[in-house]
Amino acid sequence: MMEFLFLDLDDTILDFHKAERIALSKTLRDFGVEPTEEVLALYHKINLWHWEQLEKGKLTRDEVQVGRFAALFRELGVSADAVRCTRSYEGNLAVGHYFLPGAEEAVASLSQKYRLFLASNGTASVQAGRLTSANLYRFFETVFAANLPIAISVKTRLGLREEDEFPRILAIYNRYPISELTIHPRVMRQLYRGQADREAFAAALPQCKPPVCYNGDITTTGQLHALEAEFPTLSGIMIGRGIIADPALFRKALGGPAATKAELRGYLDDLYHGYTELFGSAGCAISRMKGHWFYLIHCFADSEKLEKQLKKLREPWEYETVVNQIFTLPLI
């Protein structure tokens, strides 16, 4: 069951083109330029070129916002301050709002069924003004906009049902200033069945604009080093189940030793007591710990009998007794 929805703001909920035309026209008049259709068309051409340079990493966001007006004034032979014009334009754009038909009602309805989040590549201060004017904050738990003092990363699969969904999903990710995109090359309906599709990942990698982190089926140092060799441009490698099964995996990959019994015992005891404190119940903690032991039990030799007992137990004294017995076994 889907619980969360992320929505865009411009041209999804609010009519950006209308707001842009009104704000741009007012700004240009204030700086002595009549906003004729020819002038507006020239601005849009210049603006598009600047945003394309941003996507290629050749310009910063600030350079886009000021540079488009500087270029427009040069083309028109107008002597005007592009920095002041940028500030004026953003101030005008932040005032008022224009809903797309049916959008307000749709958002209100969705907020009754899902937890809503808003993601926008618009300037944070501008979007804040428009959201306030439209009274939209009440529908969203969090708003993510450009120029926020945080980095936003995304973890994704290749699709819900089929891998061929990913190009359309990636096109959306590529529109936003994501700091890192972590890709697990399975589709959602697979859960963890089958193998992570390394070929599909390799095919998608060149199309990704954000830095890419790999995730999926890395359980040994050999697999980790092979992945680094195959994809040297990766920004990172994320390991989930593999690090639960071998908490020292990264240390071993760097040439360090495997985890000792004492380290594993301290790690698992900290988890158990932490879960107990967090949930206020040892029973809930035991349920969580069984998930960790599902992977870790295989670090111990001849553990099959105790593994069966671990799956069935419910009481704290049973858990603690079985864990004590497990740690009498030799590590593999």
Active site residues: 8
Q: What is the CA radius of gyration of the chain?
A: 27
User: Strand 115-123 to strand 142-146: parallel, antiparallel, or no bridges (unpaired)?
Assistant: parallel
CA angle, residues 260, 311, 306, in degrees to nearest 5: 50
Return the number of other C-beta atoms located less than 10 Å from residue 123's C-beta. 17
261-279 helix and 282-296 helix, angle to the nearest 10 degrees: 150
CA distances from 249 to 75, 221, 265, 295, 329 (A): 59, 7, 16, 13, 21
Element (H, E) at 193: none
Going by C-alpha positions, the residue among 184, 187, 156, 151 that lies closest to residue 171 is: 156
Return the number of other C-beta atoms located less than 10 Å from residue 170's C-beta. 19
CA distance 204 to 102: 36
Residue 280, phi then psi, degrees to nearest 5: 70, 20
φ/ψ bin of 96: left (φ > 0), alpha (ψ from -120 to 50), beta (otherwise): left
